[in-house]
Structure 1
Amino acid sequence: MKNSFPLLLLFFPIIILAQGPPPNAAGETINITGQVIDQETGEPLEYATLVLQSVTDPNKINGGITDGKGRFDVGTTAGSYNASVEYIGYQTYQVPQENFSESTDLGTISLQIAASELEGVEVVGEKTTVEVRLDKKIYNIGKDLTTSGATISDALNNVPSVNVDVEGAISLRGNENVRILINGKPSALAGFGSTEALRQLPAEAIEKVEVITSPSARYDAEGTAGILNIVLRKEKTLGFNGSVTANIGYPTRSGITANVNLRTDKYNIFNTTGYNYRDAPGNAFFDNTYTSGQFDRVIEDRIYNRRDKSFNTNLGAEYFITENSSVTGSIFYRTSKDDDLTENTNRRFGGAEGNSTTFRTEEEGEDDDSYQISLNYVNNFNDDGHKLTADLQYSNDDELKLSDIEERFTQPNTDLIEMEDVFENEKENEYLIQADYVLPMEDAQFEAGYRGTFEQEITDYRVSTLNLDTGQFELDEGLTNKFTFNENVQAVYSQYGNKFGNFSFLFGLRLEHTQLKGELESPFDRSDFEEEIGEDVLANFDKKYLGLFPTLNLIYEFDEEGRENVSLGYNRRINRPRSWYINPFPSRSSRTNIFQGNPDLNPAFSNTFDLGYLKRWDKLTLTSSIYYQRETESFSRVQEQTGQETSDGIPIIRSLPINLATENRYGAEAGAMYNPTKWLRLNGSFNIYKFSSEGVYNGIDYGTDNSSWFARFSSKVNLPAKIEWQTNAFYRGPRNTAQTETKGLFGINLAFSKDILNDNGTVSMNVNDLLNSFKRESFTQTDFFTSRSEFQWRQRSFVFSFTYRFNQPKKRNGGRGGDGGGQEEGEFEG
């Protein structure tokens, strides 16, 4: 009970405010009651909204929502009001300038369906549908059963064009250089340059995903593949409402997430809090052969046991200054504690003293704390889209890793080979300043803005090794350093869009200045650094880049309803290397394989063209596109010999990122959404691409040609007794680089759900990776070693979930007045 007291203090004001308005000393308190029903069916309409606007003071607004029987009971002061009853998808019922001098029963109010809005209601409520805009595709996430109890990372794997591999890396059209945004901005919710946070946050938080393959100038130019903008749900229903979701599964996992919201016409207070525990076992297998060293062949069997505990909360408030302006402040906090154990059995063959076996354990404890403070101001000058927005944001992340590594023989003896202690502390700070201005002009629109991001990451890395002769730990000078990396980006942009009949265009230009700065601190002599990386490489550097990034998006609609259109997009983008790609000191997943950053790495630049087509029928929606991208100074990871061996004679192989000159990528994709009947929905997509790269490094030609494809299919069936059944299947075809071939990858997820408690609750069960087949198999060949490997990040899992909603519509239709179709701030619709 003692631990619960702070939470009670947090929610106490919300609970009190939710009880309704107190008596007004200026006038008598009265109650307005009634019932709202569907005119055709006579069924009560839950979550319909009664709005009472004072005639004498239009800024004074009161109201409430209907209960499960369609009834409302709203307390207010006596006076003259414009009353209305609204429900999304229905025509509004209005009672103008009514004088309510005493408690009044409005009786039964019948609302008629608005035919023009009917399709929109169905879109938001149940289906996952696609909208095509000038610069992106918007996938409104419907009731996807397979993401119940899952994470945002799992949900992204169900979005067309998007791929999430076995290690959680996200790619767009097969390209991993994709920019992840939350609500249009870089965010601690998406992690600092990694996707780890997305594997801990609940999928239920997502309202829609914007796949931006041809970003307009309003977006920063980072990400040659494009941008994924994850838009989180924002409840618009008046009053106190929310939901609680709990889940439990096997392998051991459990979690609970609560989402509460208190909304009035003057303010909106929101909070999402969640706790998760996961035990995620995985495994890997490596079969390596060598042309030099004491051993001809080494086989590694790895078992991963990961125990992750995480807590996250997001608390914020939106205050409506006027009818057209508001300010929102929020703070997000996430803490996680991981205890991972990796067990590695090594069988070595062909040694001078015969075959041998070793056993290596790595115990890693990781504590990660991050928080983000955000302030947003919006001023809608009018209802036509004339708007000014401003954002301030500060993010902080502190990640501490402590690892104990031990390796010893198990055959022919039990002698200790090596023991290490590894200390790694990463601290990151990021500031964001942004302002955007939108000026509509009849069918045209002008936009301009500024964005500045200032980021610093400090990595403190130390390795201590046990001296087998003295029995004392000694600091490894070659693996100990402190590296500070700064990335500062400032940008201004403007863009102009116009519409001529069925033709629309959006042209923009963005000017960005990038500063990449690295500083190496080491208490030891690093005169041999040039020999390890290259003679012309400097660990301390300060590089500046100034670039223009033009964008052009065209769309032609064949009909007035927008059911068929063709689009063409062009954009120039940049890929800036992250800190771990630049940090020159190696980190090790094993004694024989290391990853080493390259301080000489420069940004890559790309030019992309995209031609798309969309066609809607009554029950079928088809999307398709073809694209071409040319990237210069593209990144590639190569493996090479270090010339060093472990203490027992195994060659050490290094993986190093380089600028590989030029890469050309061609591709085509198609997607279909088909709803032949009310009980069956089908969804599928297919993407095929080819890329060719040219480049030489250290006299070796790493150029390659590669073709691959991936496809996904989803079916949803409504069974009797209100049971829903969904199946998602995914396949990624084989692919290869200059040194590595990777086999195809297949996975299938299965889910069932049923609504209970008068549709206020939902129970569900889903199976992730039903066939336990989501494994990456690859083969690497060079002139000095070969490696066959198999890696499975997470084994098949079962999850049972329960969701309870209070004062909240199940179909997420939004609230009073809707949300305008989910249009982003400052967006130009052709």
Structure 2
Amino acid sequence: MKKLFPLLLLLVLSTNYAISQRPGGDRESSPIIISGQVLDQETNAPLEYATLVLQSVNNPEIITGGITDIDGKFNVETTAGQYNVSIEYISYKTYKKANQTLTKNTDLGVVKLSLDVAQLDAVEVVGEKTTVEIRLDKKIYNIGKDLTNSGATITDALNNVPSVNVDIEGAISLRGNENVRILINGKPSALAGFGSTDALTQLPADAIEKVEVITSPSARYDAEGSAGILNIILKKEKTLGFNGSVNTTIGHPVNSGVSINANLRTDKFNLFNTSGYNYRDAPGNAYFDNTYSSGSFDRIIEDREYNRLRKGFNTNLGLEYFITEQSSLTGSVFYRTSKSEDETDNTNQRFISNLLNSETFRTEDENEDDTNYQFSLNYVNDLDDDGQKLTVDLQYSKGEETKFSTIEENNTVPNENLLILENVFETETENEYLVQADYVLPIGDAQFEIGYRGTFEEDITDYRLDSLNQETGRFDINQNLTNMFTYNENVNALYTQYGNKFGKFSFLLGLRLENTQLKGQLDSEFDTTELEEQLGVDVDVNFDKNYLGLFPTVNLIYELGERENISLGYNRRINRPRGWFINPFPSRSSRANIFQGNPDLNPAFSNAFDLGYLKRWDKITLTSSIYYQQETNSFERVQEETGQTTTDGIEIIRTIPINLSTNDRLGLEAGMMYSPTKWLRLNSSFNFFRFSTEGIFNGVDYGTTNTSWFARFSSKVSLPAKVDWQTNAFYRGPSATAQTDNKGIFSLNLAFSKDILKDNGTLSLNVSDLLNTRKRRSYTETEFFTSDSEFQWRRRQITMGFVYRFNQPKERNKGSRGNGGEEGGEEIEG
């Protein structure tokens, strides 16, 4: 096939340079082609950017070779001669063949590299591995058999991944920064809830194959997420024939579920399905001690009890059809439905001059129905044997969330009477379209890539609040809060990148051009001039904003030795506000606390640098990095007084997101995996960061400087009688913002498992938060109030699980079918 794109002068010069260095000593001899493919030994996944090294035996100083493409294939031109052949890939054992006489075109065939995991035999590496792979633009954590994931959710599993932290409310952060982009199999997904992580708390952790932590994303990735990207790769069996597994769990507090994974694979097609049902209760509690400088009360103490019942069903059905040996077409449909029944009991004690003045009791009953579905189509075509490849993706996702809440508050002391009775109706509908095309072109020993990606999202929020009029006995619509807000986010992107390797030096350079359109339309009876007075700025609630930006990426690796390297990454990122950050109408968690979006909010932009170091010994693997990020127009949620009080004299406090001027973050992280014996494995990581912010809003300076850290430790012990014991410990150090000091949090998880039924079944026992210490304790102070609080999202959880595998032995021997539709690099977004 003819080359489709003209080459840049730089690429031509680099190619000519590589050709000019061909060994062999005789420039007039006929060239020969050395080809082959490099795969992961355990998963059969292609290894992109693996290096083929051809060293002349007669003149060892002359070295040539090339790198593999996205399918792990190489096609290198050289001259006839005698060579020492080796194939290298970071974190993998090197393949070597000495004194090879190459006199004609030679196909080295499929070369499979194994991870360099000390003292582990083949079955242990495949079935039990929890390892890290280092790529030019990411770290890949193979979850393996993490016992604490039994009966857990995807969110729980993420909390065991280095650099990642999930707080007690489920918010995910990367290196302490919450502006992280969540992808499923390389794409935005209904699984991740279009930016919300609620769905991840309802899906089983055992669906995960691996997690890619991408702190320096290459140009093929969406520029969204100033902290970086977390790409969750779901399991997809590749064994020929019919196979699968059944996973059941039961726990206390109530945590029961069943999931089925089934796969039918032939040489012509692959039919796969994952379905699950879960029924889960998540009791929690909170305590607030608030003092006020204005209003009718000096102090209010709140005790809250939460009961959250979750019922959900999800299924993913797909068919991968191998059109030819070079092309495949995959279609899949995902459907999820869930129902939540939440009840919150809130006791308020109100004080004047340290004397109890009154007491109230508030109940909030919320019923929520969620429905999400997604249709995906993926086409892959290896255009020729040289490594040209075309990938096209189409995806449509839709989600609908309906909430109905009843809020009732009564005085209990000194007299019993009704204070307020409200009904809240909220419907949120989200539609998202994705179109993407990616083309890969080998250029001699290097690789050139170009692509387009477009996402078009619409979010419609319909909010209505009815309040009981005690004089008439009828519900009146609150026009000050009732509204419909439509938010559109359209992103069109073109990108290109070029990668190559010269000796021990590898690089990947990329450039991405993105146009972002943000549109908002408000439908309400409320006078928008009052909104401007509330926000303190001039805003346009019906807006249409456009942002055009270039996002360069640079990723470099230099190999100090076979088991040691340093890396340097740079990238520019964008953080776009979500719809609920933009909607100017307040939504309230209580009568005295509201959240109000800011339509004047603009995207934040960041520049990030990352310097990494990797060293592997026989039994120890060390990863470390120093990183720096500067973000402009960074988001910050601040609390301020509204100047309003409730009917019984409580000061109403508002939380609002704003653009601060800058946010600087400097950090250090390190991780170590140690396997002293076959029966003991230790894993630890540490992350320390310092951040400072600058910015003024409504005359208040919110600038601050703070340091924080978090660390985790995991040990796995193989006991006699096929029993495994795992311990996971996590600690997050104290942190602070301009208004709030957060205390440290410690949690400890224990898990045991035993293989039965000839290793086809596994019994497990998992205790999450053994010491019941996973609580957020914080102190907030402003000019008008203070708040000393403690919040526990979910109490200690005990879960028992049983997994049965049919036609799928524990070591999961992989089939050898090509690359069509396999997870990993091919499913990475453009």
* Match for residue 239 of structure 1 among 238, 241, 248: 241
Kindly provide the CA deviation profile for residues 530-556 of structure 1, in whole angstroms up to 9, marking residues without a partner as x. 212234111110000000000000001
Residues 745-784 of structure 1: pairs in structure 2 closer than 5 A? 745-784=745-784
Q: Which residue of 2 aligns with 1:694?
A: 694
Q: Which residue of 2 aligns with 1:588?
A: 588
Rounded Cα–Cα distance in structure 2 between residues aligned with 1:589 and 1:380: 54
8 Å contact kept, 1:437–1:826 = no
Which position in structure 2 is the counterpart of 1:460?
462
C-alpha deviation, 1:381, in angstroms: 2.8
> Match of 1:216, as an amino acid?
S
Q: What's 2:434 paired with?
A: 432
Structure 1 segment 392-791 matched on structure 2, within 5 A: 392-559=394-561, 561=562, 563-791=563-791
1:817 positional shift: 6.0
| Correspondence list, 1:177-192, <5 A | 177-192=179-194
| Conserved 8 A contact 2:248-2:256 | yes
Structure 2 CA distance for aligned equivalents of residues 819 and 130 of structure 1? 22
- Kept after mapping to 1: 8 A contact 2:274/2:315: yes
- Give the superposition deviation at 1:753: 0.2
8 Å Cα contact 2:269/2:321 also seen in 1? yes
Instruction: Please give the alpha-carbon distance, in whole angstroms, between the structure 2 residues aligned to 1:438 and 1:473.
Output: 62
Deviation digits for residues 134-164 of structure 1, max 9, x if unmatched? 1110111111000011111111000000000
Question: Of 141, 147, 150, which aligns to 2:149?
Answer: 147
Shift of 1:442: 3.3
Is residue 797 of structure 1 aligned with residue 785 of structure 2? Answer: no
- Structure 2 unaligned spans of 5+: 1-42, 45-92, 96-110
Give distance in 2, aligned partners of 1:356 and 1:706.
39
2:219 and 2:288 map into 1 onto residues whose CA distance is: 45
Deviations 1:643-681 (A, max 9, x none): 000110000000010001101100000000000000000
Please state how far the C-alpha of 1:127 moved relative to its aligned partner: 1.8
Q: Percent identity?
A: 73
Q: Does 1:825 align with 2:826?
A: yes
8 Å CA contact 1:124–1:140 kept in 2: the answer is: no
Between the aligned partners of 1:236 and 1:519, the Cα distance in structure 2 is 47
**For residues 633 and 808 of structure 1, do their structure 2 counterparts lie closer, same or farther at Cα, with a shift above 3 Å needed?**
same
- Give 1:825 shift: 2.5
Q: Tell whether the 8 Å contact from 2:274 to 2:316 is kept in structure 1 after alignment.
A: yes
Deviation at 1:525, TM superposition (A): 4.0
CA positional deviation for 1:818: 8.7
2:275 aligned residue = 273
The Cα offsets for residues 105-143 of structure 1, whole Å up to 9 and x where unpaired, read as: xxxxxxxxx996485844443121111111110111111
CA pair 412-826 structure 1, distance change in 2 beyond 3 A: closer
Query: Is the alpha carbon distance of 1:418 and 1:822 closer, same or farther for their aligned partners in structure 2, counting shifts above 3 Å?
Result: closer
How far apart, CA to CA, are the structure 1 residues paired with 2:567 and 2:761?
Answer: 42
Residue 159 of structure 1 corresponds to 161
By how many angstroms is 1:452 displaced? 0.3
Residue 323 of structure 2 corresponds to residue 324 of structure 1: no
Query: 2:586 is aligned with what amino acid?
Result: P
Say which is worse superposed, 608-617 or 382-391, in terms of deviation. Answer: 382-391
1:27 corresponds in structure 2 to none
Matched ranges for 1:225-264 at <5 A? 225-264=227-266
Q: State the Cα distance separating 1:557 from its structure 2 match.
A: 1.2
Aligned to 1:222: 224
Q: Which residue pairs with 1:197 in the alignment? A: 199
Distance 1:201 1:353 in 2: 48
**What amino acid does structure 1 have at the position aligned with 2:587?**
S
Contact 2:185 2:824 survives alignment (8 Å): no
What's the CA shift string for 1:200-242, capped at 9, x where partnerless? Answer: 1111111111000000000010000000001111111000000
Measured in 2, the distance between the counterparts of 1:232 and 1:425 equals 30
Q: Which amino acid aligns with 1:307?
A: L
CA contact (8 A) 2:233 2:824 kept: no
2:398 maps to amino acid: N
Unaligned ranges ≥5, structure 1: 1-46, 49-88, 92-113
Aligned residues of 2:154 and 2:205 also touching (Cα < 8 A): yes
Question: Residues of 2 paired with 1:116 and 1:759: CA distance?
Answer: 26
**TM-score (normalizing by structure 2):** 0.84
Distance in 1 between residues matched to 2:684 and 2:823, nearest whole Å: 24
Q: Deviations over 1:57-112 (max 9, x none)?
A: xxxxxxxxxxxxxxxxxxxxxxxxxxxxxxxx9x9xxxxxxxxxxxxxxxxxxxxx
Task: Provide closer, same or farther for how the CA distance between residues 297 and 797 of structure 1 changes in structure 2, counting only shifts above 3 A.
Answer: same
Letter in 2 for 1:604: A
Task: Give the aligned residue type for 1:623.
Answer: T
- Residue 71 (structure 2) aligns with: none
The 1-side partners of 2:412 and 2:509 are apart by 66
Distance across 1 between alignment mates of 2:112 and 2:556: 31
Give distance in 2, aligned partners of 1:747 and 1:382.
Answer: 53
Q: Distance in 2 between matches of 1:538 and 1:118?
A: 56
Match of 1:55 in 2: none
Q: Using a 3 Å threshold, how does the CA distance of structure 1 residues 166 and 525 change in structure 2: closer, same or farther?
A: same
Distance 1:618 1:705, change over 3 A: same
For 2:312 and 2:530, how far apart are their aligned partners in 1? Answer: 42
Q: Which amino acid aligns with 2:539?
A: V
Per-residue CA distance 1:458-507 (angstroms, 9 max, x = gap)? 00000001112222111001010000000000000001111001101111
SS at match of 1:371: strand
Amino acid at match of 2:246: V
User: In structure 2, what is the Cα distance between the partners aligned to 1:143 and 1:384?
Assistant: 38
Matched length: 718
Give the Cα separation in 2 of the matches to 1:541 and 1:115. 55
Distance in 2 (CA, whole Å) between partners of 1:626 and 1:353 is: 53
What amino acid maps onto 2:220 in structure 1?
R
**Is 2:780 aligned against 1:815?**
no
Aligned position for 1:17: none
Q: CA deviation at 1:602?
A: 0.2
In the alignment, is the contact (CA less than 8 A) between 2:680 and 2:715 conserved in 1? yes
Cα displacement (A) at 1:590 = 1.1
Query: Which string of whole-angstrom CA distances, capped at 9 and with x for unpartnered residues, describes residues 375-414 of structure 1?
Result: 0001123566421110000000000000000000111111
Q: What secondary structure is seen at the aligned counterpart in 2 of 1:601?
A: coil
Q: Which moved more, 1:815-824 or 1:377-386?
A: 815-824
Whether the aligned pair in 2 keeps the contact of 1:491 and 1:511 (CA below 8 Å) is yes
